[in-house]
């Protein structure tokens, strides 16, 4: 058990140093029975964003979840999942967005399998930066959709067009 806890702590500390590099302060990992997690929270334009990284020494898998304070409760579930499905098809790559089928909270999630690869700091930093960048974009887009009186699919189409054009100019494209 002790070895499992040490392995878990080491992986989470490496993720912590990546998040620190991104100016996201993280408390020390909480580790118990070979599993553990680290969390960080910050605000972007009135939206509170929460990142959680969990790791299990048994499955050797790290899971990264981003969720926010954003609510889409005013919309029918079918509309929300159509929007999320479109975002997954048009914007997402490393991770994906989905709604909790039981409480309808919206998450972005991805995972890394350390049973087939070792922790490569530069690669994990790149992955975290890209994934959180996608998270900001998605939650800002959803906030815009939630706040506008327009048809949500029109807002989504406009946002996607604008986003792709902007990213092309910035050369930080999401395909």
Q: Cβ 46 to other proteins, closest distance in Å?
A: 26
Q: Closer to other proteins at the Cβ: 63 or 158?
A: 63
Q: Cβ 6 to other proteins, closest distance in Å?
A: 24
Q: Which residues pair with 107 in a beta bridge?
A: 67, 98
Kindly state whether residue 154 participates in binding other proteins, applying the rule CB under 8 A.
Answer: no
Q: What is d(CA 89, CA 164) in angstroms, rounded to the nearest whole number? A: 13
Q: Closer to other proteins at the Cβ: 2 or 79?
A: 79
Kindly state whether residue 85 participates in binding other proteins, applying the rule CB under 8 A.
Answer: yes
Kindly state whether residue 111 participates in binding other proteins, applying the rule CB under 8 A.
Answer: yes
Q: Long-range CB contacts (< 8 A, 24+ apart) of 45-50?
A: 45/140, 45/143, 46/143, 47/139, 47/140, 47/143, 49/135, 49/136, 49/139
Kindly state whether residue 164 participates in binding other proteins, applying the rule CB under 8 A.
Answer: yes
């Amino acid at each position: 058990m002790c070895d499992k806890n040490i392995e878990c702590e080491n992986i989470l500390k490496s993720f912590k140093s990546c998040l620190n590099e991104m100016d996201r302060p993280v408390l020390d990992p909480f580790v118990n029975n070979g599993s553990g997690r680290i969390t960080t929270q910050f605000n972007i334009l009135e939206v509170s964003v929460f990142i959680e990284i969990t790791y299990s020494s048994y499955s050797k898998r790290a899971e990264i979840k981003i969720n926010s304070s954003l609510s889409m409760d005013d919309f029918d579930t079918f509309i929300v999942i159509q929007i999320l499905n479109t975002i997954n098809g048009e914007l997402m790559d490393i991770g994906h967005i989905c709604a909790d089928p039981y409480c309808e909270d919206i998450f972005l999630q991805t995972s890394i399998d350390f049973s087939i690869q070792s922790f490569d700091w530069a690669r994990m930093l790149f992955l975290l930066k890209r994934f959180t960048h996608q998270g900001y974009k998605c939650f800002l887009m959803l906030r815009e959709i939630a706040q506008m009186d327009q048809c949500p699919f029109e807002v989504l189409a406009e946002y996607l067009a604008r986003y792709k054009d902007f990213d092309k100019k910035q050369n930080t494209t999401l395909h």
